[in-house]
Structure 1
Amino acid sequence: MKVLVAGANGHTGRLILQYLLERDHEAYGMVRDEQQAPRLKNIGAHVVTGDLEKDLSDLVKGMDAVIFAAGSGSKTGPEKTKDVDRDGAINLIDTAKKQGVDRFVMLSSIFADQPDVAEGPFGYYLQMKGEADEHLRNSGLTYTIVRPGGLTHEDPTGKVHIAEDVERGSISRGDVANVIVTSLEESNTYHKSFDLIEGEDEIPEALKKL
């Protein structure tokens, strides 16, 4: 599959590209700054330059699937959270639909469907993520929404706990990336949203039990 990854230069985004390439997909990493391109080219990905807040038609056209793994980051204010985590995602969803790209996988966050569990900036972030998720659910696309717990830089184990709702927990970025890429062609994940934390199930089996 030809797969466009938004947020490709982030920690999780780069891991997604690596898993795509390992499984013989054609990976296209989207970055805002051309200076970020060499790092992604070094792992074998194609690199395209684009801004989630602008027209993305040329980048999405011809893709088989889109993965949204972008984020405004913890150092930005609420305006950028809205612009990237909600509106940027919505822009990419709508562009995929217009360009006839049906498969869309969203990297969301645990509690994105329950923004009132937190106050302040994190609560607002959850609200924005939740609104983007809801837009995807209503888009008519073949979607999968992955809502991981706290992200760590621990080595991936390949073992997870996946359910529609889980208690608080953490998960390595590598395992999140693996789940996202495995979900691409796992039909049991189509039109589903699920939480993801570390656990005891091998990733392919966990997805099949959804």
Structure 2
Amino acid sequence: MSRVIVFGGHGRIALLLAPILVARGDEVTSVIRNPDHVSDVEQTGATARVADIEQSDTAAIADLIRGHDAVVWSAGAGGGDRERTYAVDRDAAIRSMDAASAAGVKRYVMVSWLGSTADHGVPEDDSFFPYADAKWAADEHLRGTDLDGTILGPGTLTLDDPTGRIDLEAPDRGRVARADVAAVIAGAIAEPLTIGRTIRFGNGTPESSEPIAAALKR
């Protein structure tokens, strides 16, 4: 059994992740900003904690994290507001990493995106640029910490039924069911071979994909 804290606990992926973790015996704390979402979160079997991570300093976030075994960062500003995107997707994410170190919680899983690279190619005048820039900065910060970090880079998210399979290599790997992303997060938490890796994936095709557990071991 692991004690897992999930930031962005009311997001679609987090709401799919929590039941997976609970079903295997983990204790899940889901951090949410809106108290109106407590019921939705607790229906997944997780314990809801209300906190505005955008406004929380490192010490306050460390207090939330302390006592857990793993951190999952699945929070995001949702786009549309440049300043808030940087405040959440970059600055708050970085504070959570520093907080995890301060709290002595080494395992950290970052939910990023497929295109998070230094040469992501998004023009600065594109409305998507702040997200691309913020995620890249957060990913790079995690790589420079002493945490046992894993960066997950799913492609375009869909509401398709889960396949239980992902593709790490083919050009058409980019689309992926949110339920499969949740399964990848759960698998990564428990798989030591994912530590130190950046795993970019989509569902691919039946021919190009492989079972999630097998992909995470490579």
Name 1:178's counterpart in structure 2: 183
Name 2:61's counterpart in structure 1: 56
Amino acid corresponding to residue 19 of structure 1 in structure 2: I
CA distance in 1, matches of 2:111, 2:120: 20
Aligned residue pairs total 207
Q: Which runs of 5 or more residues in structure 1 are unaligned?
A: none
Contact 1:115 1:127 in 2 (8 A): no
- The RMSD of aligned alpha carbons is 1.5
Name 1:121's counterpart in structure 2: 127
Amino acid corresponding to residue 8 of structure 1 in structure 2: G
Q: Secondary structure at the match of 1:171?
A: strand
Contact 1:14 1:40 in 2 (8 A): yes
CA distance in 1, matches of 2:148, 2:117: 19
Contact 1:160 1:198 in 2 (8 A): yes
Contact 2:93 2:138 in 1 (8 A): yes
Q: Which runs of 5 or more residues in structure 2 are unaligned?
A: none
Name 2:167's counterpart in structure 1: 161
Name 1:137's counterpart in structure 2: 143
C-alpha displacement at 1:10, in angstroms? 0.7
Amino acid corresponding to residue 111 of structure 2 in structure 1: L
Q: Secondary structure at the match of 1:70?
A: coil
Name 2:195's counterpart in structure 1: 190
Give runs of ≥4 in structure 1 deviating > 6 Å: none
CA distance in 2, matches of 1:188, 1:9: 28
Name 1:25's counterpart in structure 2: 26
Normalising to structure 1: TM-score of the pair? Answer: 0.94
Amino acid corresponding to residue 121 of structure 1 in structure 2: S
Q: Deviation string for 1:47-89 (max 9, x for gaps)?
A: 1111222021221110100000011113x31101000000010
Q: Secondary structure at the match of 2:52?
A: coil
Select which of 101, 106, 123 maps to 1:102. Answer: 106
C-alpha displacement at 1:123, in angstroms? 2.4
Normalising to structure 2: TM-score of the pair? Answer: 0.91
User: Quick one: structure 1 residues 168 and 183, their matched pair in 2 at CA, closer, same or farther if it must change by over 3 Å?
Assistant: closer
- The sequence identity of aligned pairs, in percent, is 35
Q: Deviation string for 1:101-134 (max 9, x for gaps)?
A: 0000000011111454222121221111000001
Amino acid corresponding to residue 31 of structure 1 in structure 2: I
Q: Secondary structure at the match of 1:117?
A: coil
Name 1:37's counterpart in structure 2: 38
Amino acid corresponding to residue 121 of structure 2 in structure 1: V
